[in-house]
Amino acid sequence: MRAIKPGLRLKSAVCTTEIMVIRAPAGEVRLDCGGSEMLAVSETAPAGAKLEPGHAGGSLIGKRYVDAEERYELLCTKGGEGALSLDGFSVLEFVSSAGNTTSGSGGGFGTPPGPPGSATASDALIGATVVARSSVLASTQTPSCQVDAGGIYAEGANLDRDGSCPGFTLHADPKLAPLGANVGGRYVMFPRPGSPLIDAALDCQDAFGGTVTTDELATPRPQGARCDLGAVESDRLFGDGFDGS
């Protein structure tokens, strides 16, 4: 918890995100990024700090984040992988997550058990309040969502593979292309032709009512009649984001 006021600059303890406070009421509040409390830009991140599952919605440089009551306004001055959250409230908007795995030396752990040295993981382990909007959580080997001590508030259209995410409106194979590097070395999964993600968003707004005009690769949204669900718009020409040249 810390007192925040206009002009204060903070950074994430687990990723590259940095923000500046534009508007805030008097009093203390906990402001997190990636599941860990944000730090003053002069502070050093604690050893072992890492991005927490379910808090990887990403933050976009130049975007202003405003809470539902419009009390807090934050300007992202440097983007990163972590999602911003206020007093344990996190947002996943236009996020794609599928088939996540973790690796280590323990071997044989996971549900179902993987080969020695690896374990499968759900795409969202919910231990706080999470708002999901226009997102895709589609684990292939475990439930897409495991709700622990928190809860999911789903806005608009969202897709999971198995119906395990409360409030999600679509349950299907998202038909994503394999993970591959594209613009600027970013790793993305494009919706394939015929994917249920294409033109499936109810609108092109974020969870705070702002208009989303580009995807993760800065491609204008929408590319079709409506925005696609997930992090990137489908490639109407090649289906996988590459031209084969």
pLDDT tens readout for residues 107-160: 333 344 444 333 334 444 444 557 788 988 887 767 887 765 456 778 889 999
Q: Is residue 199 pLDDT above 90, yes or no?
A: yes
Question: For residues 184 and 120, what is the distance between their CA atoms, to the nearest angstrom?
Answer: 28
pLDDT value at position 9?
A: 94
Q: What share of the chain is helix, strand, coil (3-state, %, to 5)?
A: 0, 30, 65
Beta strand pairing status for 118-120 and 101-103?
Answer: antiparallel
Of the listed ranges 19-23, 70-74, 118-122, 161-165, the least confidently predicted one is 118-122
CA nearest neighbour of 195 among 131, 164, 240? 240
Asked if residues 41 and 20 have their Cβ atoms less than 8 Å apart, the reply is no
- CA separation, residue 67 to residues 25, 89, 159, 221 (Å): 12, 10, 24, 23
pLDDT at res. 132: 82
Given a cut of 70, whether residue 98 has pLDDT beyond it is: yes
- What band does 182 get if pLDDT is binned at 50, 70 and 90? low
Distance CA 217, CA 233 (A): 9
* Strand segments (E) across 87-175: 89-93, 96-97, 101-103, 118-120, 124-126, 129-133, 136-137, 145-147, 151-155, 159-160, 170-171
Q: What are the tens digits of pLDDT across the range 29-85?
A: 788 888 888 999 999 988 888 887 667 767 888 888 876 667 788 889 998 888 887
Kindly indicate the confidence band of residue 18, based on its pLDDT and cuts at 50, 70 and 90: very high
Q: What is the pLDDT of residue 129?
A: 59
Rg (CA), the chain: 18
Residues 6+ apart with CB under 8 A from 48: none
Beta pairing, strands 64-66 & 101-103? unpaired
